[in-house]
Amino acid sequence: MSYEDTIEHLLDELGCLDLLLREHLGNRHEELPRSELGLADRLQSGASHTPPGSTQLVVPRRIRDEFDRYRGTIEEKRTDAVDAGVELRLQTLVDAFDLTRQHLDVLLLALFPDIDPAGAELFSELHNDASKQRPTVSLVADLFSTTPAAFLTATDLFGQGSPLSEYRLLVLEPPEGSGRAGSKLDYSLRVDDRIYAFLLDHGTVDVGLRSPSPAQSSGAAESFVTESTADATLDDLLVEDDTYSTLASLRDSDETARRLYFYGPQGSGPRRAAEALCEDETYLQIHLPTVLEAGVLDIVVREAALQARPVVLADADEVTKATTGGAQSLTSIIERFDPVVADVFLLGESAWTPAGTTRQVVDALVGFDRPTIPLRRRFWRTHADSLPDDLDAEHMASTFDLTLGQMESALAAANTLAGDDELTAEHVREGCRAQSSSQLAELAQHITPSVTREEVILRERTDQKLDQLQAHISNRGRIYDDWGFRDTDKSTGVVALFKGKPGTGKTMAAEALANEVGMHIYKIDLSSVVSKYIGETEENLEQIFKAAEQSNAILLFDEADSVFGDRAEVSDATDRYANAEVNYLLQRIETYDGVILLTTNYASNIDEAFTRRINHTIRFENPKEETRETIWEAAFPGGTPTDGIDAEWLAQFDLSGGEIASLAKRIAVEAASCGANSIQMKHAVRVLERDYRDSGRVVRKSEFEPYADALAEPAQESESRRRNRR
């Protein structure tokens, strides 16, 4: 003999209470210690078999045997049903919230009028008041007591500290019109709406938890509790072998109701690992900071206990960062989930160690790192069939330090960018750049590369060194992981120094390099980072490096000699702190895994200790004469009207590429100021001659042959220049 379902069990329990209440009603002056009787009357009423001070239901003698048989039958059927795997929701409440028989009786008394109209009538008669159709605190305490002490003890069954109160299984309501000022004994008991729905199998997740009220929600989460599908497997993760083995052991374990803390950068795998370890197909996802802010942790725990499904607490580490004195510790929050008989996963980005308790509150702490280059390479190779043929997995893995989640998002973004067009390597690179943090934009100048390597004309030796630098950036996985250099180096970072006088192409080469490898580039003016206030320079630099770690960008430190100059002999506090700044930056660069380019006009000023940490030193010099000719030929835009510009003659002047670009613009201004319709050699010669004079050089007419006659400006052009000034 067994129960078929929850309702059958529930009706039997209520039927037993109905028997008890009707007997008390018929013998109200004999054995019922009613709320209408005084304490003296209760003391004189000793007709019950319940010992004084006990909190058992008071059972009149006349029905005692029948009541005990009724309860005995219920217990037999309940046991058989549980053994047969039948879900009895009353039993779920008992198990989840550690309810005693007395707690269950109080809950059933409160539920009775909502299940059976006869229950409401019974309570009205017991109260001798037609308006009181629910049990009151006083009446329920009477049903459990025969003495004043027992009466007071009975109120503890649903008072503060009782599981009925702690988990909001019961609601105490004041009499109508009394507000909160009336006697607590007159408060009526009602089963919470969620518990009522649960017992009758109405709905799945508490409606009140699906959508926080505007007053409760800060907009950080759409709901307090969300039902999510656990569709991940461990093979979906991108983790090292030891992490995989740890997770596999947890997956294969027979232990239940575990408390597991998974932490790591966003998208590195904690959530996916939790899904892979979920025993059920669905789990409850909870945004812990929002729940705590709204003050609904109790009902969230209650819901999790009712569902008996795995729970994922997102952003759990935010609790450890709280600085307010009233903030709950993560340890105490975990302990609040004791009623939940399923696994509870706590997810965060930061590592955490339980403190303040001798109890083992967490069964495992598992950290997830950002995927290494070989793991990222595996990802890109796994998706090769859906990627452009010219997309190099080695290059993508070495260039973009992304988590698994970020790489998946990058592919989705790339397909969105492509739309109906064919997916290209640039779409994928742009998708990767979109996943990178934008915080660096607040601290540095973002440069949009506008030139390619082919457009930057440099000396052959300089060009070869740039090729080596580009290969280093694109093949870091092969160099550091496949060939073992990770074991000897502190980081996989690439540091290069571009040295040369202004205008030799250092910044342009940096832009072209960023364009080739597909990375963002941010320019940091070190002279503006350095502060006269002690400690501020280090703080400014730390902000930059912290933001850069998530940016997947090239850091271009301009005027590096302003910080990396020779360290001074320590003669005072100023020298000591200046040296500390250099030491800090040296240490930070040594451990940085990204790409750093430094430019300087004064290479001799760079501290020798720093030069030892540079992977590539590239000298930028003025281009050779044949290269300068090529630069002059390209100096004037395609739409510029030129007439007889002699690039070969102009190339004899030892100028940098930047100087040529600047002169070309000034030559155009000269032509316009003279009223000319095209740019001619006479305009170029005059500008060059002025540039010589401005630099303090002696001007020899012979140097400008065969265009020396152009140095004398005709009167007609002078008049045109005067007209243009008006």
Concatenated DSSP letters of 546-567: HHHTTT-EEEEEESTHHHHBPP
Q: What sign results for the dihedral spanned by CA atoms 456, 459, 460, 462?
A: negative
CATH dotted code for 625-725 = 1.10.8.60
Per-residue pLDDT band for 277 (boundaries 50, 70, 90) equals very high
In the chain the first and final C-alpha atoms are separated, in Å, by 112
Instruction: Point out the least confidently predicted range of 214-223, 337-346, 569-578.
Output: 214-223
- Look at residue 449 and tell me whether its pLDDT is greater than 80: yes
Q: Token pair of 197, please?
A: 């729905």
Task: Mention the CATH class of domain 373-435.
Answer: mainly alpha
- Look at residue 32 and tell me whether its pLDDT is greater than 70: no
What is the DSSP-derived secondary structure letter of residue 242?
Answer: H
**Shortest CA distance to 6 belongs to which of 111, 106, 99, 97?**
111
Q: Has this prediction a pTM greater than 0.85? A: no
| C-alpha separations of 432 from 101, 409, 415, 417 in Å | 60, 8, 12, 12
pLDDT of residue 221: 36
Q: Token pair of 518, please?
A: 């597909």
Cα 466 to Cα 452: distance, rounded to the nearest angstrom: 12
Which neighbouring-strand residues pair with 348?
263
Question: pLDDT for 646-655, tens place per residue?
Answer: 999 999 998 9
pLDDT of residue 4: 93
Whether residue 472 contacts residue 410, with contact meaning beta carbons closer than 8 Å, is answered with: no
Instruction: Point out the least confidently predicted range of 506-510, 564-568, 695-699.
Output: 564-568
Cα 470 to Cα 448: distance, rounded to the nearest angstrom: 18
Name every residue whose Cβ is closer than 8 Å to that of residue 466 and which is 6 or more positions away in sequence: 453, 458, 509, 512, 513, 618
Mean predicted confidence (pLDDT) in 589-593: 87
Which neighbouring-strand residues pair with 261?
346, 365
| C-alpha separations of 700 from 358, 530, 654, 704 in Å | 91, 45, 16, 8
Phi, psi of 471 (to 5 degrees): -65, -35
pLDDT of residue 56: 82
pLDDT of residue 41: 46
Phi, psi of 262 (to 5 degrees): -110, 130
Outline which parts of the chain fall under CATH 3.40.50.300: 453-619
| Pairing mode of beta strands 520-525, 445-447 | antiparallel
Instruction: Point out the least confidently predicted range of 47-61, 212-226, 351-365.
Output: 212-226
Per-residue pLDDT band for 222 (boundaries 50, 70, 90) equals very low
Q: Token pair of 266, please?
A: 């966003």
| C-alpha separations of 467 from 177, 453, 458, 470, 474 in Å | 85, 10, 12, 5, 11
- Look at residue 212 and tell me whether its pLDDT is greater than 70: no
Per-residue pLDDT band for 717 (boundaries 50, 70, 90) equals low
Q: Is the peptide bond before 623 cis (omega within 30 degrees of 0)?
A: no
> Scanning the structure block, which residue is given the tokens 């002169």?
663
Question: pLDDT for 339-395, tens place per residue?
Answer: 999 999 999 999 998 876 767 889 999 999 999 999 999 999 999 999 999 999 999
Q: Tell me how crowded residue 355 is: count the other CB atoms within 10 A of its CB.
A: 10
Strands (E), 500-647: 520-525, 553-558, 595-600, 616-619, 642-643
Task: Mention the CATH class of domain 453-619.
Answer: alpha beta
Whether residue 324 contacts residue 293, with contact meaning beta carbons closer than 8 Å, is answered with: no
**Shortest CA distance to 7 belongs to which of 158, 138, 146, 115?**
115
Residue 725, classified by CB atoms within 10 Å of its CB into exposed (0-12), middle (13-18) or buried (19+), is exposed
User: How is domain 207-367 classified at the CATH fold level?
Assistant: Rossmann fold (3.40.50)
Q: Using the CB atoms, write b or e for 444-477: b if 16+ within 10 Å.
A: beebebeeebeebbbbeebeebbeebbebbbbbb
**Percent of all residues in the chain with a pLDDT value above 70, rounded to a whole number:** 85
pLDDT of residue 697: 79
Indicate the average pLDDT of the chain: 85
Cα 181 to Cα 174: distance, rounded to the nearest angstrom: 9
